[in-house]
Structure 1
Amino acid sequence: MVRLGGWFSRLPRWARAIVGILAIALGAVIISRPTTSLDLLAWLIGAGLVLSGALELIARAEAADPDADDAVPSRWQLVKAIVWVVAGVLVLVLPGLTVRLVAVIVGVALIVNGVLSIAAGFRGRITLDARIASFAFGAAGIVFGVLALVWPDITLLIVAVVFGARLVMAGLVELWHAIRGRRSTRPQTDVDAPPRGWRRWARTIAAVLALALAAGAASVSGSLLQGSPVVDEFYAPPRVVPDEPGQLIRSEPFTRDVPSNALGWRILYTTTRGDGSAAVASGIVVVPRDGDGAWPVIDWTHGTTGFAENCAPSLAEHPFESGALFVLDQVIDNGWALVASDYIGLGTRGPHPYLIGPDTGHAALDAARAARQLSAARLGDVHVVWGHSQGGAGALWTGALAEEYAPELDIAGVASLAPASDLPALVRHLPEITGGSVFASYVIAAYTAIYPDVNARDFVRPGARVTVEQMARRCLAEPGVFVSVLNALALSRDPEIFSQDPTQGVLGERLAQNVPPPTISAPLLLAQGAADPLVIPAAQRAYADALCAAGQQLDYRDFAGRDHVALVEPDSPLIPELFQWTKDRLAGEPVETGCVFSER
């Protein structure tokens, strides 16, 4: 390797110029396309690592004596070059290399180079500024390496920008020296000979800035990690849990985002999974503070908040808005109560059955049962189910299962708002929209956890598996979802996270099983935004047509210009119609038989 370093030092000017140009070009590509395909980005970084090793040998072979014809790298430079080259070769040649392994290789390479830089700073014959630079660059490398290991799915994106810039600068310096006909003496993180003039101070300043950047990145990383909700002891079931579903286990006052004219509790209760096994779920109950009680109940099934246990709405900073309920004030002002299930596996022990119908319907119905045992809430007998998105499908399943599963509950109506109804069409469409991969990750996590015959390896591309796994661990309402957004942008350049059509095979069969059936005995309102990019209006209309063909009564309303969330925001034209429709259901007003389709 020492001879190789000497050979590199004697490269002709044109060869060194080519190496510099390659470094500039490769660095520019990496910087300009950090959200390219993660698989391609891994290859680019692998090539960049190898090129960094070559630049290390070329630029440092004569550090001790720039004029020596047989100058060779020092042992520190050799080890650093070896680390870069070996890391790059591993990334390039290992077949089917995963993003997680790339993150480990890059992270370890950064840490090792950081340690070597710090070790080089302890050498005796070195100026104070060079020693500081060596320590600072080394510490920065270690920090970036640790961050690479902490955030394996985002490592390539972050490293792309930092590493790409490093390649461009190194390439420019090498090209400049090749053109001038001088041996390269570009500044590095662990310089053996003291530089002269302004370069001495520039190197030190650059080192301090690199360390400051690393410290800032570490601080942001800590904030993202600390911003995630934490599951507390309230959600842990007792040793003895009632056998019967819908039994209240415990309750405690709840005030977060509860209106001043209302009282709130969070509850823990028993329920049943779709396979008949017992489970525990949590939820929130809110009632008007003043009045005689017997409040009509809105059973709210919330929109997507995540898949992990800490993604329960009752744990979120804004527990109602996180699931797209923006009109709690109006619910209370109308003299109604709210019962909102967190669902199984959110707050309580998972896995969370994301977009798995029977489990969700059971959790909502059992929340209504358990809330009735909360004597201080003074709930009435009549219920109307509301739900949006994931909860829109949950509302449909709640209505479809109510008559058989909880016949004692008086369900006066079901309002399903932009529901995730046609699951095969939804999942097939998710990779095509920005951010859709986040929702796809929740589907993949849930279906592989709930159904033994569904395996992610059968339908998720190897290069996307770690990214999908990490996405599924983050809640939509936590700061860490920013990382998922960056990953979604990365996947948008290569949207096929699925290795095959997810609507075919076992996964397709399971998705079809969870399409809400036309067995809703209560009056049904289905509202859809005509500009919804997530739940496609055409697919929603096809689902509605199928309901009607099966004999389901339906009031279908299409709202022009409204997208997925805007449909349920306070200024939406749906809101006054939803409240009036609910008042009519609570008053027992008759509904028109058959199906009615209208545009708003």
Structure 2
Amino acid sequence: MSTATPYRRLSHRVRALPGLLARAPWWVLVAIGTATTALGLLLAVRPLSSLTVLGIYTGVSCVVSGLGDLIARRADRGRLSLLTGIGWVLAGVAVLAWLGRSLQLLGPFVAGLLVVSGVVRLLDLRRGPTSERLLAGAFGLSEIAFGAVAWLWPDATLLVIAILFGVRTAGFGLSLVWRGIRAARRPSPAPTDATARRPGSPLLRWAAAGAVLLVAGATLAVSEQFRQGVPVLDGFYDAPDDVPDEPGQLLRAEPYDGVLPEGLVAYRIFYTTTADDGVPGLASGVVAVPEAAEGPVPLIAWAHGTVGVARACAPSLGRYAITPEGMPAMDALARNGWGMVATDYIGQGTEGDFPYLIGQGEGRSVLDSVRAAHQLEDLDLAPETVIWGHSQGGHAALWAGQLAPTYAPDVDVVGTAALSAASDPLALAELVTDHPGALGASLGISFVLAAYSWTYPDISMDDVHPAARTLVEEAAARCTGDPGTLFTVLTGVAVSQDTPILRADPSTGAVGRRLRENVPLGPWPAPLFIGQGTDDEVIVARLQDDYVARLCAAGRPLQYTTYAGRNHMGVLEPGSPLNADLEQWTQDRLAGLPQQSTCP
């Protein structure tokens, strides 16, 4: 026993750095405290950096703790003590080894640690006074609840951990400064182990336990509410055993019971298309036509904007695939006798890789939806098609319009309208690099990186900063309409001023090359209309101006109309003048009238 005592004291001192510093000279405390406070404040506002430091701290702490156990318990010769020490060392080495690739394990590690700690507390309730057991039970249940939340929301958990780590570091530094100042004014005896371990007021402990349990329960309840309402895929979207090679083949259809503009009836469709690598693929969508149509019905092919990149984000899964909310001139459909086919694109609803801002995949999905709609029984559709698209869908519309003559010459496209279009993905990436704090910028980066890594072999998640990889992957697994996306947006804003999400400038390397490939430059055989709000907070008007000037310089005739005071979604609101302009422009296209170009 006497032989082990020095080693036990060494282990105790290794784990009690604050206590050792408390015995240092006052000026040492002030110096170290000031530096630690500055570091903590810096980490608190730079969460990605904080995660990296926390990962290093966690790894080193595990190794030191394990070595301390091995040294202190060397004389015990106990197998459990040996395994515990070795386990801590191996855990620390594993954390440090993975830092260079990702901090994804940190969230599950924290979640597992909280759950295990809570379970251990509950298992230990058999001993001690009743009051102590009740307190331990409250803290144990709260730890399990927080562990469950950490497992469900790893991106938000990592952010909270990072910020709290910075705040705690700053708090520790301030305490050292305060101790140093007090020691300089009136030296006091060093605290003993007895005073250091003195328990707090029972009333305070009960209040703390109740508060922690209440917060844990509320957090778990809120997180469960956030998880509700996520669309669930049904059998309609199941892939058949044999997928036809020919694109645009209607495989199945059924009535669509979602909310529709007045005077329309709709069907959900499931059809073949072509994946970006040229192999057959599957897509879904909704076709809506006037209930009392007289004569053949011209089709509007609608390309929806950003809703996410996950399979469950398909608009046809919900009740608002074709709706006046977020879609332009919807009242014009029944009034003019127009139908609409709204694709989900490949990979939403159906299996496959969603082609977010990948022009070939987007454009093919749009054109094949028109082909499939014409195969619906009991519908009399005219051959003329006008393509509309907004935001990401504007990018898809531009690509569909330029691909039509070569990919789908049987689809008679008489006009393409791109509204608030993400027309130049490369310029958007450069804008996000210059303004990383823009609301939703992290979502856009995450969606692009996920989709591009699925499609292009020269792009992978290794292009993402290790500390941000969890953020990107969690964002790619959610839809913009999910309440949980709020976590992603807030996390993205919080990390925006820290280490960039991408390792390198997105305008360079493989990412930049692929973005450049997906800028649609035409030509467009049919007339082209581009509409843009001057106050757009997502697609900045300057970027659209530059894109239009580039097309005009290349000899691409088009009509470019801007809408003063309208933001990204404001151009689509019922009171926006774009609606009347788009209706008149579409009427002119279907009438075969020429378009006057606004290019100089």
TM tier relative to shorter chain: 0.7 to 0.9
More displaced 10-residue stretch of structure 1: 139-148 or 418-427? 139-148
SS in 2 for 1:121: helix
Q: 1:38 matched to which residue of 2?
A: 48
Which segments of 5 or more consecutive residues in structure 1 lack a partner in the other structure? 55-78
**Aligned counterparts of 1:52 and 1:15: Cα–Cα separation in 2:** 25
Residue 562, structure 1, aligned to residue 559, structure 2: no
Work out whether 1:451 is the aligned partner of 2:456: yes
Correspondence for 1:436: 441
Q: Take 2:218 and 2:31, find their aligned partners in 1: how far apart are those partners?
A: 31
What is the CA distance between 1:315 and its match in structure 2?
Answer: 1.7
**1:137 CA drift (Å):** 0.7
Q: CA deviation at 1:10?
A: 7.8
Partner secondary structure for residue 584 of structure 2: helix
Cα distance in 2, alignment partners of residues 53 and 212 from structure 1: 35
> Alpha carbons of 1:94 and 1:508: their partners in 2 closer, same or farther (altered >3 Å)?
closer
For each residue in 1:527-573, what CA deviation from the matched residue of structure 2 results, as whole angstroms up to 9, or x when unmatched? 12222233232332222222223322201112222222222222222
Shift of 1:226: 3.1
* Corresponding residue number in structure 2 for 1:334: 336
More deviation, 309-318/30-39:
30-39
Aligned residue pairs total 564
CA distance in 2, matches of 1:15, 1:80: 32
- Residue 400 of structure 2 is matched in structure 1 by 398
Taking the aligned partners of 2:351 and 2:25, their CA distance within structure 1 comes to 60
The corresponding residue for 1:222 is 224
- Distance in 2, Cα, partners of 1:248 & 1:12: 74
Structure 2 residue aligned with 1:380? 382
What residue is the counterpart of 1:351 in the other structure? 353
Q: Which amino acid aligns with 2:413?
A: I
Q: Cα offset for 1:485?
A: 0.9
1:210 and 2:212 aligned:
yes
Inter-CA distance 27–160: structure 2 relative to 1 (3 Å threshold): farther
Quote how far apart the aligned CAs of 1:320 are.
3.9
Measure the CA separation in 2 of the matches of 1:129 and 1:216: 24
Alignment of 1:298-313 (within 5 A): 298-313=300-315
CA offset digits 1:285-304 (Å, max 9, x no partner): 11122232522211101111
- Spell out the pairing of 1:520-531 with structure 2 (5 A cutoff): 520-531=524-535
What's the C-alpha RMSD, in Å, of the aligned pairs?
Answer: 3.9
Residue 263 (structure 1) shift: 0.6
Segment drifting more, 428-437 vs 320-329: 320-329
Identical aligned pairs, as a percentage?
A: 40
Among residues 497, 504, 514, which one is paired with 2:501 in the alignment?
A: 497
Deviation sequence 1:201-220 (CA, Å, 0-9, x none): 33123223212222222222
- Write the deviation string for residues 457-481 of structure 1: whole angstroms up to 9, x where unpaired: 2x32222222212211111111221
What letter matches 2:216 in structure 1?
A
Q: How is 1:173-192 mapped onto 2 (pairs within 5 angstroms)?
A: none
Partner of 1:3: 9
Amino acid of the structure 2 residue aligned with 1:434: L
Contact preservation (8 Å) 2:264, 2:289: yes
Which residue number in structure 1 is paired with residue 70 of structure 2? none
Counterpart of 1:277 (choices 279, 292, 302) is 279
Give the deviation of 1:349 after TM superposition. Answer: 0.6
Distance 1:546-1:167 versus aligned 2 partners, 3 A rule: closer
Quick check: 570-579 or 110-119, which moved more? 110-119
Q: Does 1:288 align with 2:290?
A: yes
Give 5+ residue unaligned stretches, structure 2.
1-6, 65-82
C-alpha contact 2:325 2:573 (8 A) present in aligned 1: no
- Is the alpha carbon distance of 1:20 and 1:401 closer, same or farther for their aligned partners in structure 2, counting shifts above 3 Å? same
The alpha carbon displacement at 1:522 in A equals 0.8
C-alpha offsets along residues 44-76 of structure 1, whole Å, 9 cap, x if unaligned? Answer: 58659999999xxxxxxxxxxxxxxxxxxxxxx
In structure 2, what is the Cα distance between the partners aligned to 1:184 and 1:86?
31
- The CA distance in 2 between the partners of 1:387 and 1:213, in whole Å, is 44
The aligned amino acid for 1:521 is P
Q: Distance in 2 between matches of 1:426 and 1:130?
A: 58
* Alpha-carbon distance in structure 2 between the residues aligned to 1:394 and 1:370: 18
Please report how far the alpha carbon of residue 11 of structure 1 lies from its aligned counterpart in structure 2 after TM superposition: 5.7
Match for residue 73 of structure 2?
none
Partners of 1:337 and 1:10 lie apart in 2 by 75
When residues 330 and 517 of structure 1 are mapped into structure 2, their CA distance, relative to the original with a 3 A threshold, is: same
State the match for 1:158 in structure 2.
160
> Which one-letter code corresponds to 1:310 in the other structure?
A
User: Conserved in 1, the CA contact under 8 Å of 2:283 and 2:345?
Assistant: yes
SS at match of 1:299: strand
Residue by residue over 1:316-357, the C-alpha shift from the partner in whole angstroms, topping out at 9 and shown as x without a partner, is 353346993154334333322111111001111121111111
Preserved contact between residue 313 and residue 323 of structure 1 (Cα < 8 Å): no
Q: In the alignment, which residue of structure 2 is the partner of 1:65?
A: none
For 1:53 and 1:172, how far apart are their aligned partners in 2? 27
Q: Deviations over 1:474-523 (max 9, x none)?
A: 11111221121122112212262122222223322222222113221111
SS at match of 1:221: helix
Q: Structure 1 residues 149 and 386, CA, compared in 2 at 3 Å: closer, same or farther?
A: same
What corresponds to 1:468 in structure 2?
A: 472
Are the structure 2 counterparts of residues 110 and 294 from structure 1 closer, same or farther at C-alpha, using a change threshold of 3 Å? Answer: same
Alignment CA distance shift 1:128-1:180 (3 Å): farther
TM-score, length of structure 1 as denominator length = 0.82
Q: Would you say the 8 A contact 2:341–2:369 is kept in 1?
A: yes
Partner Cα distance (1:460, 1:181) in 2: 48
Paired residue secondary structure (1:290): coil
The alpha carbon displacement at 1:163 in A equals: 6.5
Q: How many angstroms apart in 1 are the aligned matches of 2:213 and 2:89?
A: 24
Q: 1:74 aligns to what?
A: none
C-alpha offsets along residues 195-237 of structure 1, whole Å, 9 cap, x if unaligned? Answer: 68xx223312322321222222222222333332222111112
SS in 1 for 2:593: coil
